[in-house]
Amino acid sequence: MAINELPTILEGLARLLTTSSRDWGEYAPDAWLYAVLVGWDCEETEHSEACVHGALEEQAARHGWDALTVAKARRYRDAVRAVLDAPAQHRPAVSRWRVETLDNLAGEWAPGTGWPVRGAAVERFEALNAQAPRWKDGTPVTRRLVRETTTYTVEAETGPAAGARQDGAQP
């Protein structure tokens, strides 16, 4: 789904801004892009001497943003962060389809080749049933089609969002 691309898109835009030598505070439209995509506020979880605080207020004074506009900047920034912090969305789930055969003696399902497209696995399933409907001793072969789904979760401290984030400091 296209919406799965959103974290990647937002991360890329933020990286574009933070790695640019442009003064994102000079013009109001630039300052607004920075406010939403990167954020002027300090986003460190533990504040230190190196922190820059009050950058958003500085931008507000510079560009004539009122309290509502400042609140909106923080709200939009929070929404962007929420998308970036949703770990499962960093990569969409991937499915493969397999034809499994029941091993009558062991009572276990033996997996076959994985197919990235369901149609290919269905074709295989139908072909196998047509070509080899029975075991050598004449008992019918039981097959089933299974879908295997792999999901991805970015482990908290290692996510790219943690490293890409800068302080509110201007470049």
Q: Does 47 bind Zn ion (CB under 5 A)?
A: yes
What 3-state class would DSSP assign to 140? strand
Of residues 44 and 78, the one with the C-beta less far from Zn ion:
44
Q: Which residue is nearest to Zn ion (CB)?
A: 51
Residues 7-46 close enough to bind Zn ion by CB under 5 A = 42, 44
Who contacts 110 (Cβ-Cβ below 8 Å, separation ≥6)?
A: 100, 101, 102, 103
Q: Distance between CA atoms of 99 and 148, rounded to whole angstroms?
A: 11
User: Given the structure tokens 């389809």, which residue do they identify?
Assistant: 97
CB 109 within 8 A of CB 102: yes
State the nearest-atom distance from the C-beta of 161 to Zn ion, in Å: 17
Contact 144, 100 (CB under 8 A): yes
Q: At a CB cut-off of 8 Å and minimum separation 6, what does 88 contact?
A: 151, 152, 153
User: Binding of Zn ion at residue 56 (CB under 5 A)?
Assistant: no
If the CB atoms of residues 42 and 99 are measured against Zn ion, the closer one turns out to be 42
Looking at the Cβ atoms of 112 and 168, the one nearer to Zn ion is 168
Residue 47 beta carbon to Zn ion: minimum distance, rounded to whole angstroms: 3
In this chain, which of 9, 16, 28, 51 binds Zn ion, going by CB under 5 A? 51
Structure tokens at 40: 């002027």
Judged by CB under 5 A, the number of residues near Zn ion is: 4
> Least distance (Å) from Zn ion to the CB of residue 16?
24
CB of 164 to Zn ion, least distance (A): 17
